Structure 1
């Protein structure tokens, strides 16, 4: 079986049995019950949108939205208690009020009990652990959407998190990605986003769940392209940050963005046969790429790397409170994947970012070698 086939698959069988732990039998289900899995900066911004939108469609959705919150201490109190009392997440999204129908729940199983719509919006490293706990507790008739920007790329293949969630839970999973900086979304500054969904019915449901006058949703079928763009644009943003750190200016950064978009497209169409050209012109594609190369943590840390020469892990501690960059990790994974196929020379920007960060190549290589 070829790796192109493995990577290019666009579907898979659903193999899950109806769990006795699912307390609301499908035959009596009238309204959708929504659960948000994750409550960081982006998860909190999304919680505000979802909480407002379920109230707009009372014939479709139950009014209460449960949100699984990893329990933490906040100024001597449980974070969930603070969220439920103040209708705000002061640790990750201070100053933004949620609708009162969003309820923080510290227990994952309780939060997801009876849910027919799952919104995954948590760091990718926790996906498998969460899904392992949920196995056998989610009805096969449920549906989910992944807001996780990232891929798991290994020399032997690429894993989309929507497909991993689908495999582990036996349900259909869509994907959402776009030029969506969480704080700006929370402040209701206009932006667009893209939902990739194979099911027309699920796509219409997710449109109602997320679309607002300030958060404009476009639904397409190419969920693979949506997820690829969300991950690969971070590598390009590292390149843009290196250019900024060298003081090369707007013309150079525009060239890096253009070349990066071309390599994103080439990667998608080489290893995932069903990725559509038009996806790269959606919000998840060129718009998210522009936003990430203009701001964001990958550009910021790469700029500091070029200016100071400090190691990436030291800059992560200084600038990100120890959080890890997606762009540098993805660059390393992409390199290993391409090297296993003797194809690194076909993606010069991706490879140059890798060599600068991990092999000590001159930072000037970001323009010399692409």
Structure 2
């Protein structure tokens, strides 16, 4: 693919790693952020030490704090900002953007209050004559591994195949591979909801439980993620792909995952406020737990693991008591959730 001008909105760990992938592919990359010291560090030292202490970025990657300057003449915009500020940043983009671009996002969450997916927020805030169909870039990936060019396979999801194909070609190289899909709902719900299960998996580890418990929460967590996603209109097959079970495995088993680490700390008895203060990064699984719990209640979807995690985080219920409640639920057939999913289609 010929060189493209790409704006990456959000100089966090994932935004920085994806910027390097795009730069490796010969594209002109502009990272935008609103912390002057961070912007200056990227431009002057070619580092982003808050997230990567030992990584030196290519000096061709430029950082900006002026959004209009960042977006001038770009052919694509990649949103990698926290879910809670996505709508605000999208409004700012709409105010200064003066030409049509491909809009991508690589964030993983659901908006509090509205319960909306990120692509929906972007569709609402950026006029259709200024953008493509939204392309979701998501899958099993740790920024800490992508930044050192470890092998990574993820998904590009869009309602328009040509837009998904464009993004696939934009990112793909010898160490970073994308697959396309049209199931935007499935990819986005899987990306958001796996963070909730990862918090639970971390909590089990912090409590001292082993691999049996890890396998159980990942498998049963996938079942309830799928139930909710299919009820929202997703293809159930998406949840056994990279953006489903793949992302759940990587997020629910690794110390690289801030959601897993947050859960682990909860399991060891730390207070949530202290965990969030010490993390230094947004823990999307905490806010997504609230959204998922509310969605499950509204849509009458059985999500016992999510409900248990919600009760610990937002109702101060004892973790071990919540586990006992889960273990003593009414006995069921494992295949019941498959029957429920088929009934929703």
| TM-score of the pair, normalised by structure 1 | 0.80
1:152 partner SS: coil
8 Å CA contact 1:47, 1:98 repeated in 2: no
1:166 match = 123
Structure whose alpha-carbon radius of gyration is higher: 1
Residues 246 and 94 of structure 1: CA distance in aligned 2, closer, same or farther (over 3 Å): closer
Call closer, same or farther: CA 1:204–1:245 in 2, change over 3 Å. same
SS of residue matched to 2:205: helix
Q: Aligned with 2:319: secondary structure?
A: coil
Larger CA deviation: 166-175 vs 354-363: 354-363
> Residue 306 of structure 2 aligns with which residue?
350
Q: Of residues 293, 296, 299 in structure 2, which corresponds to 1:338? A: 296
Counterpart-to-counterpart distance in 2, 1:280 and 1:338: 18
Determine which of 254, 267, 287 is the counterpart of 2:215. Answer: 254
Distance 1:218 1:303, change over 3 A: same
1:210 match:
171
User: What is the distance in 1 between the residues matched to 2:77 and 2:292?
Assistant: 29
The structure whose residues are more often strand, as a share, is 1
Could you list the runs of 5+ residues in structure 1 that have no partner in the other structure? 1-29, 56-62, 74-78
State whether residues 153 and 337 of structure 1, in contact with CA within 8 Å, keep that contact through their aligned partners in structure 2.
no
Partner of 2:19: 47
Shift of 1:100: 3.4
The within-5 A match list for 1:266-277 is 266-270=227-231, 272-273=232-233, 275-277=234-236
Q: Structure 2: how far apart are the matches of 1:31 and 1:214?
A: 19
Q: Give the Å deviation of 1:348.
A: 1.0
Residue 140 of structure 1 and its aligned partner are, at CA, apart by 6.0
Counterparts of residues 225-244 of structure 1 (less than 5 Å): 225-244=186-205
83 and 324 in structure 1: CA distance in 2 versus 1, 3 angstrom threshold: closer
C-alpha deviations, 1:245-282, integer Å up to 9, x for none? 22221011101110000000000011x22x11221122
Matched-pair contact (CA < 8 Å) for 2:82–2:282: no
The equivalent residue for 2:266 is 305
RMSD: 2.1
Aligned: 1:65 with 2:29? yes
- Counterparts of 1:191 and 1:109 in 2: how far apart (Å)? 32
Partner of 1:360: 316
For 1:1-370, what aligned pairs fall within 5 Å after superposition?
32-53=4-25, 55=26, 63-73=27-37, 79-139=38-98, 141-154=100-113, 157-170=114-127, 171=131, 172-270=133-231, 272-273=232-233, 275-295=234-254, 296-308=257-269, 310-318=270-278, 320-321=279-280, 323-341=281-299, 343=300, 346-364=302-320, 365-366=322-323, 368-369=325-326
For 1:89, what is the secondary structure of its paired residue? Answer: coil
Q: Indicate the SS of the match to 1:179.
A: coil
Contact 1:242–1:366 (CA<8 Å) still a contact in 2? no
Summarize the Cα distance change of 1:329–1:50 in structure 2 as closer, same or farther, 3 Å threshold: same
Deviation at 1:35, TM superposition (A): 1.2
- What SS class does the counterpart of residue 36 from structure 1 fall into? strand
Separation (CA, whole Å) in 1 of partners of 2:50 and 2:224 = 37
SS of the residue corresponding to residue 55 of structure 2 reads strand
* Structure 1 residues 79-121: Cα deviation after superposition (integer angstroms, max 9, x where no partner): 3333223333233333323333321112111101122210111
Deviations 1:129-152 (A, max 9, x none): 222222243356311111011111
Q: Which runs of 5+ in 2 are unaligned?
A: 328-345
Aligned residues: 319
TM-score computed with the length of structure 2 as normaliser: 0.86
| Structure with the larger helix share | 2
Give how far 1:368 is off.
3.9
Maintained 8 Å contact 1:239/1:256: yes
